[in-house]
Amino acid sequence: MSDITFQTDYDITHLTTFGIKVKTALYAEYADWKELTRICRSDEYMENEVLHIGGGSNLLFVHDFNGLILHSAIKGIVEYDRKDDQQTVFVIAGAAEKWDDLVQYCVEHNLAGMENLSGIPGEVGASPVQNVGAYGVEAGDIIHNVEVFDRTTRRVETIPGEECGFAYRDSKFKNEWRDRYYVLRVSFRLHRSEIASNTEYGALRGLEQRLGHVPTLRDVREEVIKIRDSKLPNPAVIGSAGSFFKNPIVRQAYYEKEMLIACPDIPRYRVDEVQQGSH
């Protein structure tokens, strides 16, 4: 049984996309739930404020963190075919996998469903927390279940996607489960196809006409990355957490009577579409 190493006075600047110089009093990584259990039994854990981070792309530290920062080192991407349905594939990824590496893997293996989510920074473990979304798709649409570590019982559980309360950039992990679970792995329900199925949202609309053929997963990935690069600076060059804004939700009457008159070109999506829009 290996001992857990707690780094002290640890510089975590490189672990956030803002790149603002920041240190944490304590820092630890775990490779599996057994190591996480040992961390949770330690004095360092019990006596400190604890924050679990992923890729640090949705966090802004305004001063040093006087507590314990945890980070998953659980890696791995595996595929399982559904026996009764040749088209459906479950892809299970460790929390520490980079989100975009997972998307790239799925696109390269003709596993359709997450290609619209190309280019989003961060790690797999945070994807159910924020319910990451962009270009008409959000993680909650394709999450089959989430393997979690329950901090209160110190047991591993599997929560079906339908129970996670996914909503527009929201989930129970951000609310009532905030201090309860650490995400260990996420299972995604995808299907075998090289053809992309969701090309009707925003700037993706008309892609088939522009390309002259039915868009493949690779086409959509390339297009999404191109659009994203034209809209947002690379956080490796200019530190950021992406867009800070969520689409505002207004009554249809207000939109038609006030907003459209003041600004006839204002983009709008129905609420069911907005719930899947870019963050």
- The site for ligand FAD (CB under 6 A) is made up of 17, 51-59, 72, 95, 120-123, 125-127, 129-130, 132-134, 169, 182-183, 232, 235, 240-242, 278-279
Work out how close the CB of 42 gets to ligand FAD at its nearest, in angstroms, rounded to a whole number. 18
Measured from the CB atom, the residue of 178 and 257 that comes closer to ligand FAD is 178
Work out how close the CB of 137 gets to ligand FAD at its nearest, in angstroms, rounded to a whole number. 10
Cα(161)–Cα(111) distance, rounded to whole angstroms? 19
In DSSP terms, 230 is beta-bridged to: none
Cα(146)–Cα(160) distance, rounded to whole angstroms? 6
Measured from the CB atom, the residue of 84 and 131 that comes closer to ligand FAD is 131
Measured from the CB atom, the residue of 34 and 82 that comes closer to ligand FAD is 34
Measured from the CB atom, the residue of 215 and 235 that comes closer to ligand FAD is 235
Work out how close the CB of 74 gets to ligand FAD at its nearest, in angstroms, rounded to a whole number. 8
Q: Which helix (H) or strand (E) holds 43?
A: helix 43-46
Q: What are phi and psi of 108, to 5 degrees?
A: -65, -25
Q: What angle do CA 172, 178, 184 make, to 5 degrees?
A: 85
Work out how close the CB of 173 gets to ligand FAD at its nearest, in angstroms, rounded to a whole number. 6
Measured from the CB atom, the residue of 111 and 181 that comes closer to ligand FAD is 181
CB 26 within 8 A of CB 49: no
Work out how close the CB of 133 gets to ligand FAD at its nearest, in angstroms, rounded to a whole number. 5
Q: Give Rg (Cα) of the chain.
A: 20
Which of 56, 275, 256 has its CA nearest to residue 167? 275
Question: 10-43 b/e with 16+ CB inside 10 Å = b?
Answer: bebeebbbbbeebbbbbbbbbeebebbebbbebe
Work out how close the CB of 57 gets to ligand FAD at its nearest, in angstroms, rounded to a whole number. 3
Measured from the CB atom, the residue of 174 and 192 that comes closer to ligand FAD is 174
Residues belonging to the chain: 279
Using CA atoms in the order 35, 58, 146, 183, what is the torsion angle rounded to 10 degrees?
A: 10
Work out how close the CB of 178 gets to ligand FAD at its nearest, in angstroms, rounded to a whole number. 8
Measured from the CB atom, the residue of 59 and 220 that comes closer to ligand FAD is 59
